[in-house]
Structure 1
């Protein structure tokens, strides 16, 4: 088996300036189950695909509550994701204990990025092979962040990670301009549609996806991070399928052409 002499530890650069251990970690994210996040001016939604390792096993959870105002969904090595989720929970608890206030989502994403980046500086460590979508609500509104194994983090209005995530990104890029004004129901529908793009023909049901939402309702009250009930998810999926199967109404121009007996003009 071929072995690269520059991938033995994470602090060794190749002559081309590459860190292979980091690339391996990022490849683990690409091979994980697809995860989608969307954000409007009032809510943030996370949707993860429940992909079992085999037909004989159950799926592993990919969406977790961190605190009342924030939650995460991840793609990649689930064990690494659970470790980082525990770290985020401790950060939120410590901040609330000291300051008696919720930790801002941007600062939480920064601390997560700093923890991941340390693994690129120690030869006895390895990068976390998981990418996290952090969705939360603070005083400045809802936010969606993507944290990369390299320690980079970015804020998005809509993003997708995991296996076949490019199809979901293409779908989101076509519609992202209207996300800011979407209702929670519309956000969930588009997030489910994006996840459906990654299934390669497999039927989308409430059993093969997990949906979570956090935001602020019309009267300004904060809606805590919660996983949406499967019955509600299935009802939304059914309404989406019904809308797709509904026949398109003929336009007025087509109706006029159909009722006209005049012979077509030769041009």
Structure 2
């Protein structure tokens, strides 16, 4: 979804295939310092996330250090590109956002099924992602200085833009965050709990309602007693 200088946030909409089914996970933990969000064929996404998880484990075992996020995105791109040049293979039908933290800071990469990959400050993929992109384009310049809570709130706001009138709640969204604490230690990649998400959504709704109430009260104050009398209904003649 987007990143600051110290944290990266991934968010996804929990969209069930039908009213009778549950949703499929779209956000996966790869290592303590990285995770992925996907859009497309979920089965392909699970295969690729398992591949990334194995790469992180192997690198950590050999070098006793976490795999840099740029190398992680490169390995994923190489694996996807091979499928485009073999007649007996098909390309992976999934796009992935790779978010993570390494010595150079927080990173966010978008990996295409073609094998191309790009680093972004903020990005959205999937159906109805254009509304989220428009929201992110208006706000991405200040993300470097955002606190983790501000990042999560903006992720929820971006998801809300894509719901097209559906009410945002903790049951229809997933948010994950990874970052570096003030003391320099890594805050592991984790899914934000439903209770915490609902608490943030409620606080956002209260903040949105407050300006509207202030505006209506100011309009009432600006209206004088004569306007109020004119607006009052006329008595009925009996």
Q: Which segments of 5 or more consecutive residues in structure 1 lack a partner in the other structure?
A: 1-36, 260-267
Q: State the Cα distance separating 1:91 from its structure 2 match.
A: 0.4
Q: Find the aligned partners of 2:24 and 2:219 in 1 and give their Cα distance.
A: 51
2:171 equivalent to 1:238: no
Q: What's the CA shift for 1:219?
A: 1.6
In structure 1, the residue matched to 2:180 is 216
3-state SS in 2 of match to 1:179? helix
Match of 2:230 in 1: none
- 2:107 is the counterpart of 1:143: yes
**Number of residue pairs the alignment of both structures matches:** 222
Cα RMSD over matched residues?
A: 1.8
Which residue does 2:78 correspond to in 1? 114
C-alpha offsets along residues 137-179 of structure 1, whole Å, 9 cap, x if unaligned? 1000110010000100000110000011011000000011111
The residue number in structure 2 matching 1:41 is 5
* Post-superposition offset of 1:247: 3.1
Counterpart in the other structure of 2:235:
none
Instruction: Please state how far the C-alpha of 1:92 moved relative to its aligned partner.
Output: 0.4
1:127 aligns with 2:91: yes
CA distance in structure 2 between the aligned counterparts of 1:254 and 1:125, rounded to whole angstroms: 66
Aligned to 1:191: 155
Structure 1 residues 191-227: Cα deviation after superposition (integer angstroms, max 9, x where no partner): 1111111111001100001110000111212100000
Question: Judging changes above 3 Å, is the alpha-carbon distance between structure 1 residues 255 and 158 closer, same or farther for their aligned structure 2 residues?
Answer: same
Equivalent in the alignment of 2:58: 94
Report how far residue 256 of structure 1 moved: 11
Q: TM-score, normalised by structure 1?
A: 0.80
Instruction: Give the equivalent residue in structure 2 for 1:22.
Output: none
| Counterpart selection for 2:169 from 171, 187, 205 | 205
Deviations 1:85-129 (A, max 9, x none): 010011001111111110000000000000000011000000101
Paired residue secondary structure (2:95): strand
More helix by share: 2
TM (norm. structure 2) is 0.89
2:220 and 2:18 map into 1 onto residues whose CA distance is: 53
Measured in 1, the distance between the counterparts of 2:54 and 2:140 equals 33
> Match for residue 6 of structure 1?
none
Q: 2:28 matched to 1:72?
A: no
- 2:211 corresponds to: 247
Give every structure 1 segment of 4 or more consecutive aligned residues whose post-TM-superposition deviation is greater than 2 Å: 247-250, 253-259
d(CA) in 2 for partners of 1:95, 1:61? 26
